[in-house]
Amino acid sequence: MRFTSKNISTLLLTGSLWMTAGCSDFLREEDPSNIAPATFFTVPEHAQAIVDGTYENLRFHGDGAGIFSANFQMLDAFSGTAETETGQNSDLNNLYSFQHTGDNLHLSQWWRQLYEGIGNANLAIEKIPTIPRITEADQKKWVGHAKFLRAFHYFWLVRLWGDVPLLTKPIYAFTDADVTPKRGSVADVYNLIVADLLDAEAAGLPMTELNGRASGAAVKSLLANVYLTMAGFPLNKGAEYYKKAADKAKEVIDFGTASPDKINLFTNYADLHNNATENRLEHIFAIQYAAGIANSNYQSYFLPNNTNITASGEVGTTVPTASFLSSFEAGDKRMVEKEFFFKSYYDGGNGAVFPLTKSYVFKHFDAIANGVPGTSGTGNAGLNYPLIRFAEVLLIYAEAQNEVGGPTTDTYDAVNRIRNRADLGDLSGLSQAQFREAVWRERWHELCYEGITWFDMIRLHKVYVDGSNTFVDFVGATLSTAVTLQQKHLLLPLPAGDFRNNPNLRPDNPGW
């Protein structure tokens, strides 16, 4: 059954399967699509079904947004570290040039899909406790999953749009008051996010999880990220929240120290995009895909446009800028061919070496889909997309703890673990200000092309100048893509359709 809010989004009880290569029980679930709530939440198994349907919504991230574009590309387009090789998609090109308006397809799809996931989570949170014969432990666990997902969706929304409608109950009919909601404040949205994550943290989830659902480590890592963001713009909660972020990240780091076979950095960068290592060690939480069942269609957007070097599609609409590539330190292993980037591949995926005219992103490269020497690619990508890596947790800790009282042995250790993997020397002897910017630089380089850089820019109100390896204020900064940023760019305009249909959303964000 479909639950529709005509002015915000289409809120669906999808019941779709949340499928992973490593969790066969997901693949055996019956599809409960189009089943009404009155006849659905009747047996304990339905709790897992609605939660798995909510996890499935995360795949909107890689869904198409017009020709040669996908939703996830919006974040990298804003970062100044990427450009496109095609001109066919005006919506995507307008993001790169910051000429976007509320009519941009990417904006409307992010808004709609985030509220769709929130709608599913709200339904799960309300209905799971009413299911007959469900145990208290299972009720707590599945509601915990739903609250983690609601928090994640709202975390995206509040950073992109600021004040947004704060919906915490399902919408069942056009007569519901929440069909035309007012915008909640940024502070209220963050209060809900934190409350949801604290509930999820207390839900009894295992610290690590191989099946693709959230683990205790995923909850703690996301909460650390939320606290770090709250410490910066626009809430500016400062030292108290930097301390909260550091403490929560340290819980994950300490678990990894005690159990390095469960949470750790990968030794080899290749394991970041190895199907066999999904949901393991460094991969704390990811969007789940399975080749031939739920293909990871984001693959083609990182590959050079129309070269036929692989067995899968090639679009070339998220391409590293030359200036960003030149900003990596000399000797950085991430710049070695086929580590984070590549400048040649094999004709057809498994033939002779095929040189490219520039470097492209390799950190998301699916070798099974694209082919390797001696083995043809399948053409179907099933590689997960990372949302939380242990590398980010280390950098959250290093940044936050430094803000509490300057660099310490532990903060140096956290950032140097990442630098050492890149064959770079240890940081040492830095002032608090020097260490701060050193960690920011590591975030820009280690976490590039993972949809993180833009959010760093707006929480810090800073922009990395790759030509000088320095940071400048956001407003007035000129990106390597020749865009000069304005105050209004810190938030997106509200999607035009919703803005026109719901007078309670007005006024629009400043400058739009």
pLDDT digits (tens, 9 = 90+) for 67-84: 999 999 999 999 999 999
Mark which of 336, 352, 381 sits at the end of a domain.
Answer: 381
Checking if the pLDDT of 431 tops 60, the result is yes
How many separate domains does the chain show?
Answer: 2
Q: What is the DSSP string of 135-164?
A: -HHHHHHHHHHHHHHHHHHHHHHHHHHSSE
> Residue 389: inside a domain, yes or no?
no
- Pair (10, 135) in one structural domain: yes
The 10 Å CB-count burial string (b at 16+, else e) for 382-393 is bbbbbbbbbbbb
In our burial notation (b when 16+ CB lie closer than 10 A, e otherwise), range 456-481 reads: bbbbbbbbbbbeeeebeebeebebbb
pLDDT at site 27? 35
Query: Of 350, 380, 386, nearest to 366 (Cα)?
Result: 380
Do 303 and 200 lie in a common domain? no
* 194/83 same-domain check: yes
The mean per-residue pLDDT over the stretch 26-49 comes to 70
Using CA atoms, how far apart are residues 405 and 45, in angstroms rounded to an integer?
49
Instruction: Provide the CATH number for the domain around residue 18.
Output: 1.25.40.390
In a domain, 7, yes or no: yes
- Assigned domain for 212 exists: no
- The b/e string for 120-149 (b: 16+ C-beta within 10 A; e otherwise) is bbbbbbbbbeebeebeeebbbbbbbbbbbb
Specify whether the CB–CB gap between 82 and 114 falls below 8 A.
no
Say if residue 200 is in the same domain as residue 60.
Answer: yes
Residue-level pLDDT at 311: 82
How far is 220 from 387, CA to CA, in rounded Å?
13
Contact in structure between 144 and 158 (CB atoms under 8 Å): no
Domain termination site, one of 147, 181, 204? 204
65 lies in which domain range? 2-204
Residue where the block lists tokens 């869904």: 63
Nearest to 250 by CA among 280, 274, 228, 220: 220
Locate 268 and state its tokens. 């080899």
Model pTM score: 0.93
- Looking at residue 193, its pLDDT comes to 99
- Domain membership of residue 512 (yes or no) is no
Q: Which residues, 6 or more positions from 373, have their beta carbon under 8 angstroms from its beta carbon? A: 346, 350
In a domain, 443, yes or no: no
Residue of 292, 250, 284, 239 whose CA lies nearest to 264: 284
Q: Is 226 helix (H, G, I), strand (E, B) or coil?
A: helix
Establish if 198 belongs to a structural domain: yes
Residue 308 shares a structural domain with residue 185: no
Residue 429 lies in a domain: no
Cα–Cα distance, 492 to 114 (Å, whole number): 15
Residue 102 and residue 128 in contact, taking contact as beta carbons nearer than 8 Å:
no
Instruction: Among 184, 204, 224, identify where a domain stops.
Output: 204
Q: What is the pLDDT of residues 265-320, one digit of tens each?
A: 999 999 999 999 999 999 999 999 999 999 998 999 999 998 889 888 899 999 99
Q: Is residue 179 over pLDDT 60?
A: yes
Mean pLDDT in the chain? 92
User: Are the C-beta atoms of residues 348 and 308 closer than 8 Å to each other?
Assistant: yes
Residues 57 and 179 in one domain: yes
Same domain, 14 and 126: yes
Q: Which of 332, 337, 334, 329 is nearest to 359 (CA)?
A: 337
List, for residues 203-250, the tens digit of each pLDDT value. Answer: 999 999 999 999 999 999 999 999 999 999 999 999 999 999 999 999
- Asked if pLDDT for residue 24 goes beyond 70, the answer is no
